[in-house]
Structures are given as C-alpha cells and as structure tokens.
C-alpha cells in the first residue's frame, strides 16, 4: 500500500502536535506503543517506497521546518516577553522541552537517521534539531542571558541568595549548545564573566587596600578565592576554575602585592617582627599562587633575618667593649637560637620552599661572616665548641645536649666562608683539651697512649739507675710532631734543678731511640712547688715558666723586671704575662713595686713571705697566649699553598686558560674550605709566573699557558 | 771594517779588550750625549749588548755596521735616525723589553729593585708617557707591597700606558689579568682623584 506525501505527512503532523501539547503541559494523553509504531512505520514506508514515491528528502526538510516553525511561533515570543530571572527560567523550560521534543521526533524519524543521512552525509536529526534552537533562540538571546547571569553572580558575591540550580541549568545550555565544543560557553559567556569578575575584584581591592591591615586583607582574599572556587562547583563549568581563580588572584594579589607586603604596621616586616606565624603562613599560601609572588616575600624575610642577626652582632660588640667575655658565648647561643627559630619558619610557614631556604642561607651568610670585636666568626664558633667540650668550661651539658648543640654548630659552619680557619682554631683547642683535660679519654689518642707508656718506661729506668735520678718527680709527655699543632719552643733558662731532669730524660730517651730529636716545649709544662711562706707552707701548682721565675727568688730577695727577663731568657710578652699572674692577679706570690695593676719594665719584685690562703694547695693560672694571630698566620700560609696547588692543578689540565675563567675555577675549587681573595689569587699567579710554572701569552695578555 | 775596529780599540780597556764603563763615558762625551741619555741605551739595543756598561767587539761591530757608521762623527749623526727607528711601535716593544733585561746584572736575577726601575722607567718611557711614568714612579716609591719589579710587571706597565685612557682610567678593569701592582696603582690614583 503506497502512501502519498501529504497523506503520510498529515499522520506525522498529528504526532508532532500531540508531542507539542505534551511538552507544553497541555492535557494530552501520552503516546501509546501503537501511536509510536504508527508514526515510525509511516516514516519508514515513505522512505522505502520506490521512486518517485521515496520521500526521504522531503521528510528531512519538513522535519527541520516544523521545528523551526514551532520555535518561531511559540518559543521565541514567550521568551521575548520575559526578562532577567524570569527570562532565564523560561529559557531553561523551553530548552528542556526542546530536547524532549527532538528526542521523540528523532525516534519517529529514526529511519532517516539510519540510512538517508549517512548516504547523503547530512547532519543527523538530533543535531539538526539542536541547531534550530541554537540558530533561532540562542543566537538572539545569548547576550541578554549572559548579562542576566553575570548580574546574578555579582549579587551572590554581594551576599544575596540566588537560585544556583537555575544558573547551573542555564550554563549547561551554553555547554550543550556547542555539541561537543566549548566555544559557545567560552566566547559567549566565560569571557564576559571573567572580565566582569576582574572589574568586580579590582573595585573591591582598591578599597580594601586603603582600609584594611595586611592580615585582614589576606583573610578577605583567601575567603574570596574559596567562594569563587565553590561557585565553580555550584554552577560554572569546571574548565572555568583556573581562569577564574587566576583573575581573582591577579586583581587581589598581583596588582596590590607590593603595597600589601609593605604596609607599614601590618605588612610582611611587621608580621615577621611580631612572630605572626598564622598570618605568614597565609601570606605564603596566597602569594605562592601568583607568578613570582614569593620573591618579594622571601626578600623581606631575608632582610628581616639579616637585621636580627646583625643586631645580635652589635649586641655582642657592645658587650665585648664592656669587657663581658661571656657575651661571646651567649652570642653564639643566640645565633643558634635564631637559626632554629627561622628554620622552623621556613619549614612551617613557608612549606620548605627553596626560595626561603635560600633567603635564610644568604641572610646568615651576611651576618655570620661579621666578626665580633676583632674575633672572626670562625674563631668564635671554635671557642664556643671548646667551652662546651672542655672540662670546667662555662657550660655544663649532658652528652646528648653536647651532641645536639654541636650539630647545630655544624649547620652554622655551612654559612662561614673561612671554614679552614675554623678547622685550625678547632684543632688547636682540641690539642689543648687533649693535653690538659685530665678527664679526656686518652685511649682514643694513640700518641697520648704511647706517651703514657713512655712515662712508665722512664720511671722503670729511674728505678734501675739510682744515680740517674734527678731528685724531682718528673713526668714527660712525648708528642709526635706531625700529629699536633706546631708549638713554638723558646730557650727558657731552666732553674738548675730542672736542668738535671731534662738531661736525665734525654739520656733515657737515647736508650730507646737513637734517631729521634726531642724539642722541649716548656710553655706547656706544669710544676708543683712548695712555697715556705711565713703563715704556713703551701703547695703551688704553676706552669714551668712561672716556676722558673719563682725559683729565682730562692737566691735573691729582690729582682727587677729586666733582671728576671735576662735570667729567664724569655720575650717581653711572656715575662709580662707571667709576672702579672704572680703579682697582680688573685694570688700575689710576689710583691710588685710600684703596686700598680699592670707590669712595666721598670718594676721590681720581691717574694711575698706573708702570702697565705685558706687552702693548702692552690693553682695559679697563667692565661695562655693569644694564639689568634698565629692561627691566622698559619691559615694564611696554608691558603697560599692551597691557591698555588689549585692554580697549578687547573692549568696542568687545561694547558692554556684565560684569566677570568682561571680565577673562577680556582674560587670554585677552594670554596669548600674558604673564599679566596681575588687579589690573593692574582698574586699567586704572578708568583707562579716568576717561578716558571706559568707564562703569559705574548699576543694575548689575558691568557696563561702552563709550562711543563 | 778595520775602521770600526779601530774606533772600538780607541775606547776599549787595554787589558780586558772590552769597552768598559769608563770607555763608554768617554764615548758619550765624544758623542756629546750624557751617559744617562736614553740614546746610549738605544745604541746598546742596536748592538744587542749583553752586559750593562760593557761593549764587546762583536757587539760594537754589529751596532756600528747596522748604523752604517765607521767613525764617531757618523755615529753621532746616526743617533737621530736610531731614535726614530726605536720609537717605531714594532721596535719599541722589543726595545722596552730589552731595557729591562739589560739591567739584570746577576746570573739568576729576575727582578730589578724599585729605585733602579724608577730610573729606567723615566729613561725608557718618560718621553712618551710622561704623566703615567711620573705618577707610577711616585706610587712605586710610597708603596710597600713590592721591593722589586719583574719582567711581567714591567711589560704590563707599557701595555697599561698604551691601552688605558689617562688620567681618567675609565677603561681599566681589575678583573682582567693586569698585574696586581697595577691594580693597586689604579686604586691609589683613583683615591687621589676623589
């Protein structure tokens, strides 16, 4: 049975009208299966009839036309007469309806989709239907819709309640209308929304920056960002999130970043000063989101730490100039505490970010390399360690506390450029501790163990050779030169009693080894003297130098400074020091004339027969020579060799190299131990040229050549 | 040739067979040139004389032949031409370097004391770079870092005079391989200028 076009179309149209009524909400019974079958079969038949009765093309065209008619006659007018939120609601309704309609129609006309459109490469029915809506409704209204949506968004920003579901539905239209592409959403909605957002926050920020403190502003900023993120999850498309947040961050943080950080009483400096860790953490969180946002923050952090450190240095300088020697120990402690404090800031507030680690490092490098009252920081750290480790030092700490503290010192050491200087001071003090700290664990030091064995042999020797006995108990510690710092030996004129001791030991030592030379370091020796004072006899524990001076008074009642010096054969420095310790310090074994507080070359001395103390046995300390100058000299010498070796090493491998790269490589090679002075490197290069290790190129004076 | 030799022997010391300082002094007075005059040094250069204060026969022959002089009169006339020749940039470097080495008297000597250097600077460079030489001489006398000057430093100063704009020193860069003594010199000059 053939169906004519108009005949068939009438059936389809009836179905279409029924669909319209249903969709419009008018009273209309639902489609039954028969209804559906009828429609489907009608279309099917009209498409499969033999030409000229195959009506596929006509059906395709009339499908589209019918939809267009419906839109034009019914949908558009209803939308045009409404505005704002009402218009939005209507649009959602009409769009929903439209989708339903297109879905049903596609089922009716399904046969077209299966064969006709594929054969002719035409758009499928679904697409045709949606395109109608887009071309007729969307294109006309999208501007108004957009404006209405943005207006609602701004209202919500101001705190009003809005219908979020509505907005979600509207924005879904923008997405769906693209049929797979986000172009419509982005161009017709998102762009304008982002622009509006930027303008909105620009206005807000310009007010807040004037009125609010930095912490308050940041709280508001954080809140805004949170809200905008929620907004995306409520109704915007997820792809808008990064773009939206970027706009907000830009307006709130990038634009006003510097003003915010530099707010006088509440900005970054102030927060650091007042230890506002929460605010600083917030600052980090916020500024880490904007490009290069953390750089100014880390810069202020660095300035702050440098300032704190420099203040400590100044404090220590002031204490030192007021002769408070404990100030230096305290200074190092405080630097350690400062380091702990701001290291915690870096890990807690600043989430271990490298910029802040770097800032902390640079800040410490700046003030840690400033010395205090003539002592370099390398020396201060070495002295600090010495005080912790030695017996009778100014700190009494448990083993764990010692280890913990030393670990912290190592961290500070990383900031000091003169590491080799620290090493040298430390070595010297270590040697001193090993030699004089009775509690020191000798077993670890082979040399001292050997020394003890030596002493035992010596005592045996004395036991076996009665006439060799010097008449005085003598203990000798023999050190192997290379293992210990170099100690200068002076030709002290020993008292006659001690001369015998030295000779006896020398003879003994010859029996042990023939090929070794002993050099006596009298400056390190101690001596127990019996002083026969009038009130009572006392035992005095003194250094060899002091003992030698005191024994002079066994044969003379009164001696002048110059006589003492001549008899002892020591330098002025040593004589002044030792006489001071015996006549101007706590225990006045000698009476000085005139009775001033310092030693001068015109003074005279007498034995103080009336001296006494409640103890039977006292120790008279001799303050050690300031080894500082020697240490610095030694280190400078070592550095010269190190620079020479480094230059030769570099030139040997490169054969030729220009001046600047040579200097740079030298600095890099030596950096682990110290920062070489550029002038010093130049001087060494010149020295190496004159020693024929290098030569300057004849044509290029900046180029050096290695001479094999 | 014979004439050249004869002139030589007229100044030479009879026993050593060399022209010694005394002979040179006599020669100078005949040439009407002071014996501290730079032209004598130039003559020594032309002769490639090895030892300061002495001329050997070979050296004498070499020099006078090159100058085409076989008597004192011609030698005297040759002096202005010799000066011009030395002052030509290509030759001057060689002459300047020669001047230093000529003053090394001991076998292994590599440097010259400050006082002698000052005199030598004045002689060798004074006519060309008066200002630089005067300032540098002042500096050398008051500084205490160096007691002697070596060849590298000596040549460095010549390069300094040629390359560095004076007295503003605007193009001097201490990061380059200038000898340290010149870095210090420039620092001292700049401090004086402020």
Please give the full DSSP string across A590-651, using - where no structure is assigned.
EEEES--SS--TT-EEEE-TT---SSSEEE---PPP-THHHHHHHHHHHHHHHHHHHHHHHH
Model ipTM? Answer: 0.81
Residues of chain B short of pLDDT 50, as ranges, are none
Q: Which of A580, A554, A581, A552 is nearest to A567 (CA)?
A: A552
- C-alpha span between A353 and A363 (Å, rounded): 16
What pLDDT does residue A116 have?
87
Q: Which residues of A touch B111 (CB under 8 A)?
A: 690
In this structure, are residues A634 and A424 in contact, taking their beta carbons and an 8 Å threshold? yes
Among A176-185, A217-226, A388-397, B130-139, the range scoring the smallest mean pLDDT is A388-397
Asked whether residue A440 carries a pLDDT value surpassing 60, the answer given is: no
Distance of residue B139 Cα from the nearest chain A Cα, in angstroms = 18
- C-alpha span between A68 and B135 (Å, rounded): 100
Instruction: Give phi and psi for A623, each to the nearest 5.
Output: -60, 135
For A262-284, what is the mean pLDDT? 93
What pLDDT does residue A324 have?
63
- C-alpha span between A671 and A365 (Å, rounded): 14
**Tens of pLDDT, residues A484-510:** 877 777 788 888 888 988 888 888 888
Q: Least CB-CB distance to B176: which of A659, A683, A704?
A: A659
Q: Which residues of A touch B182 (CB under 8 A)?
A: none
| Per-residue three-class SS string for A526-595 | EEEEEEECCCCEEEEEEEHHHHHHHHHCCCCCEEEHHHHHHHHCCCHHHHHHHHHHHHCCCCCCEEEECC
For A9-36, what is the mean pLDDT? 90
DSSP state of B174: T
> At A519, is the secondary structure helix, strand, or coil?
coil
Region of A41 please: left (phi>0), alpha (psi -120 to 50) or beta. Answer: alpha
Distance of residue A647 Cα from the nearest chain B Cα, in angstroms = 14
- Listed in order, strand segments (DSSP E) in A326-453 are none
Asked whether residue A667 carries a pLDDT value surpassing 90, the answer given is: yes
Q: Is the peptide bond before A52 cis (omega within 30 degrees of 0)?
A: yes
Q: Which residues of A touch B152 (CB under 8 A)?
A: 686, 689-690, 696
Q: Which residues of B touch A690 (CB under 8 A)?
A: 110-111, 150, 152
Tokens of B72: 């004192």
What is chain B's alpha carbon radius of gyration, rounded to the nearest angstrom? 19
CA atoms within 13 A on the CB side of A405: 21
Q: Which of B147, B57, B48 is nearest to B98 (CA)?
A: B48
Distance of residue A660 Cα from the nearest chain B Cα, in angstroms = 7
Q: Chain A window 634-693: which residues touch B at a Cβ cutoff of 8 Å?
A: 658-660, 663, 678-679, 682-683, 685-686, 689-690
- C-alpha span between B110 and A480 (Å, rounded): 40
Number of neighbours of residue A341 by Cβ within 10 angstroms: 12
Distance of residue A681 Cα from the nearest chain B Cα, in angstroms = 10
Asked whether residue A439 carries a pLDDT value surpassing 70, the answer given is: no
Q: Chain B window 149-178: which residues touch A at a Cβ cutoff of 8 Å?
A: 150, 152-153, 156, 159, 175-177
Indicate the burial class of A299 (C-beta count within 10 angstroms; 0-12, 13-18, 19 or more). middle
What pLDDT does residue A386 have?
87
Q: Is the pTM of this model over 0.90?
A: no
**Tens of pLDDT, residues A325-374:** 667 888 999 999 999 999 999 999 999 999 999 999 999 999 899 888 88
Q: Which of B180, B1, B55, B155 is nearest to A687 (CA)?
A: B180
Top-ranked range on mean pLDDT: pick from A25-29, A215-219, A407-411, B127-131: A215-219
What pLDDT does residue A447 have?
79
Asked whether residue A120 carries a pLDDT value surpassing 90, the answer given is: no
**Tens of pLDDT, residues A564-605:** 999 999 888 889 999 999 999 889 999 998 888 888 899 999
Residue A538: beta bridge partners? Answer: A531
* Strand ranges of the sheet holding A694-696, from the earlier edge strand across to the other edge: A656-658, A703-706, A694-696
Among A136-150, A267-281, A429-443, B97-111, the range scoring the smallest mean pLDDT is A429-443
Angle between helices A678-690 and B151-163 (to 10 degrees): 120
What pLDDT does residue A471 have?
79
Longest dimension (CA), chain B: 63
**Tens of pLDDT, residues A527-567:** 999 999 999 999 999 999 999 999 999 998 899 999 999 99
Q: Establish if B110 touches chain A: CB-CB under 8 angstroms.
A: yes
Q: Which residues of A touch B159 (CB under 8 A)?
A: 701
Nearest chain B residue to A692 by CA distance is B110
Number of neighbours of residue B169 by Cβ within 10 angstroms: 14
Strands A656-658 and A703-706: antiparallel
| Per-residue three-class SS string for A190-245 | HHHHHHHHHHHHHHHHHHHHHHCCHHHHHHHHHHHHHHHHHHHHHCCCCCHHHHHH
- C-alpha span between A695 and A690 (Å, rounded): 8
Nearest chain A residue to B159 by CA distance is A701
Mean pLDDT of chain A: 90
CA atoms within 13 A on the CB side of A402: 14
What pLDDT does residue A511 have?
82
In this structure, are residues A706 and A694 in contact, taking their beta carbons and an 8 Å threshold? yes
Q: Do B176 and A702 touch (CB under 8 A)?
A: yes
Q: Which of A422, A456, A322 is nearest to A673 (CA)?
A: A422
Asked whether residue A192 carries a pLDDT value surpassing 90, the answer given is: yes
Number of neighbours of residue A286 by Cβ within 10 angstroms: 21
**Tens of pLDDT, residues A692-706:** 899 998 888 899 999
């Amino acid at each position: 049975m053939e169906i004519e076009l108009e005949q068939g179309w009438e059936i389809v149209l009836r179905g279409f009208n029924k669909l319209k009524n249903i969709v419009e909400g008018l009273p209309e019974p639902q489609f039954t299966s028969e209804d559906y079958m009828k429609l489907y079969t009608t279309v099917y038949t009209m498409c499969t009839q033999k030409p000229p009765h195959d009506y596929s093309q006509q059906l395709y065209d009339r499908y589209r036309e019918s939809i267009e008619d419906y839109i034009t006659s019914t949908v558009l007018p209803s939308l045009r007469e409404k505005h704002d939120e009402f218009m939005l609601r209507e649009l959602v309704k009409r769009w929903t309806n439209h989708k339903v309609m297109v879905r049903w129609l596609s089922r009716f006309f399904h046969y077209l989709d299966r064969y006709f459109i594929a054969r002719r490469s035409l758009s499928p029915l679904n697409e045709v239907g949606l395109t109608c809506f887009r071309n007729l409704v969307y294109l006309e209204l999208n501007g108004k819709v957009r404006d209405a949506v943005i207006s609602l968004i701004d209202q919500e920003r101001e705190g009003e309640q809005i219908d979020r579901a509505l907005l979600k539905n509207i924005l879904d239209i923008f997405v769906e209308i693209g049929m797979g592409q986000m172009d419509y959403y982005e161009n017709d909605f998102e762009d304008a929304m982002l622009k509006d957002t930027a303008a909105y926050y620009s206005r807000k920020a310009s007010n807040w920056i004037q009125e609010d403190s930095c912490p308050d502003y940041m709280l508001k900023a954080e809140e805004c960002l949170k809200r905008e993120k929620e907004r995306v999850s409520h109704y915007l498309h997820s792809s808008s999130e990064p773009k939206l947040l970027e706009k907000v961050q830009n307006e709130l943080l990038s634009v006003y970043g510097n003003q915010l950080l530099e707010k006088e009483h509440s900005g970054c400096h102030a927060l650091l000063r007042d230890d506002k860790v929460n605010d600083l953490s917030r600052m980090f969180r916020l500024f880490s989101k904007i490009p290069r946002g953390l750089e100014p923050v880390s810069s202020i952090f660095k300035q702050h730490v440098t300032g704190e450190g420099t203040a400590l240095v100044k404090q220590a300088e002031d204490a030192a100039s007021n002769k408070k020697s404990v100030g230096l120990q305290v200074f190092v402690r405080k630097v350690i505490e400062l380091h702990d404090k701001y290291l915690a800031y870096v890990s807690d507030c600043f989430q271990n970010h490298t910029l802040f680690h770097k800032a902390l490092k640079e800040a410490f490098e700046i003030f840690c390399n400033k010395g205090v009252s003539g002592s370099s920081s390398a020396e201060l750290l070495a002295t600090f360690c010495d005080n912790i480790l030695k017996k009778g030092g100014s700190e009494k700490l448990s083993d764990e506390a010692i280890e913990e503290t030393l670990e912290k010192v190592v961290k500070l050491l990383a900031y000091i450029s003169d590491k080799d200087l620290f090493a040298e001071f430390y070595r010297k003090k270590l040697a001193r501790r090993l030699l004089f700290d009775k509690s020191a664990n000798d077993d670890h030091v082979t040399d001292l163990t050997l020394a003890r064995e030596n002493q035992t042999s010596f005592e045996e020797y004395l036991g076996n050779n009665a006439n060799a006995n010097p008449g005085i108990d003598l203990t000798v510690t023999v050190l192997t030169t290379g293992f210990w710092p170099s100690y200068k030996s002076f030709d002290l004129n020993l008292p006659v009693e001690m001369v015998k001791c030295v000779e006896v030991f020398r003879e003994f030592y010859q029996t042990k080894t023939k090929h070794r030379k002993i050099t006596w370091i009298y400056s390190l020796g101690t001596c127990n003297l019996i002083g026969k004072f009038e009130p009572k006899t006392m035992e005095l524990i003194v250094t060899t130098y002091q003992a030698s001076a005191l024994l002079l008074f066994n044969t003379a009642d009164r001696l002048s400074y110059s006589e003492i010096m001549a008899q002892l054969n020591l330098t002025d420095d040593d004589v002044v020091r030792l006489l001071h310790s015996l006549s101007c310090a706590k225990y006045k074994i000698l009476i000085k004339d005139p009775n001033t507080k310092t030693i001068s070359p015109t003074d005279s001395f007498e034995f103080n027969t009336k001296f006494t103390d409640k103890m039977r046995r006292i120790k008279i300390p001799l303050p050690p020579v300031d080894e500082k100058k020697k240490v610095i000299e030694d280190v400078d010498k070592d550095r010269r060799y190190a620079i020479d070796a480094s230059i030769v090493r570099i030139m040997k491998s490169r054969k030729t190299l220009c001046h600047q790269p040579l200097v740079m490589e030298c600095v890099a090679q030596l950096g682990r131990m110290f920062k070489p002075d550029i002038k010093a490197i130049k001087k060494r290069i010149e020295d190496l040229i004159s020693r024929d290790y290098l030569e300057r190129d004849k044509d290029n004076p900046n180029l050096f050549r290695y001479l094999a | 040739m014979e004439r050249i030799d004869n002139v030589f022997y007229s100044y030479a010391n009879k026993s050593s067979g060399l022209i010694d300082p005394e002979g040179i002094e006599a020669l100078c007075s005949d040439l009407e040139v002071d014996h501290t005059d730079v032209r004598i040094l130039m003559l020594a250069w032309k002769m490639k004389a090895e030892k300061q204060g002495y001329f050997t026969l070979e050296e004498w022959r070499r020099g006078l032949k090159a100058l085409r002089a076989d008597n004192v009169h011609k030698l005297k006339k040759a002096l202005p031409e010799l000066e011009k020749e030395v002052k030509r940039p290509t030759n001057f470097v060689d002459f300047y370097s020669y001047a230093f080495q000529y003053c090394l008297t001991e076998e292994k000597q590599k440097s010259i004391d400050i006082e002698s250097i000052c005199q030598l600077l004045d002689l060798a460079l004074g006519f060309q770079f008066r200002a630089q030489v005067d300032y540098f001489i002042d500096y050398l006398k008051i500084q205490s870092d160096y007691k002697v000057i070596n060849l590298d430093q000596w040549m460095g100063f010549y390069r300094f005079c040629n390359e560095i704009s004076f007295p503003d020193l605007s193009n001097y860069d201490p990061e380059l391989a200038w000898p340290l003594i010149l870095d210090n010199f420039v620092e001292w000059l700049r401090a004086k200028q402020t």
